[in-house]
């Protein structure tokens, strides 16, 4: 299994409704991409306060690397990824992507 983790530093002033819409659309990809097990996302609630400005994050579990790779090239993911980059503070530098093999 692959756990795909994304941390996001959104632009100041971005509306929570925009973030919710992006996360809802990402979760919906599970209905289009075989091997995508689910989506969890939201705002950081860490008491440690070590987020370094990264306020939100999400995780997607995939059956395997092949399912994750299909997600990466899927046109809907490509479009949503572009929207996330535009919404992130510093664009691509406002995102961290980390994959774990479980």
Tens digit of pLDDT for each residue in 11-44?
999 999 999 999 999 999 999 999 999 899 999 9
pTM beyond 0.85:
yes
Residues 50-60 have a mean pLDDT of 96
Our measurement of the distance from residue 102's CA atom to the centroid of its chain's CA atoms, rounded to an integer in Å, reads: 18
Give phi and psi for 65, each to the nearest 5. -65, -35
> How high does pLDDT run on average in the chain?
96
């Amino acid at each position: 299994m692959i756990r795909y983790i994304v941390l996001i530093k959104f632009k100041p002033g971005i509306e929570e409704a925009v973030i919710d819409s992006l996360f809802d659309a990402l979760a919906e990809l599970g209905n289009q991409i075989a091997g995508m097990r689910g989506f969890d996302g939201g705002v950081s609630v860490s008491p440690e306060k070590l987020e370094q400005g990264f306020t939100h994050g999400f995780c997607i579990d995939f059956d395997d690397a092949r399912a994750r790779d299909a997600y990466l090239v899927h046109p809907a993911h490509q479009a949503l990824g572009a929207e996330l980059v535009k919404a992130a503070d510093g664009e691509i530098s406002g995102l961290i992507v980390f994959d774990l093999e479980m």
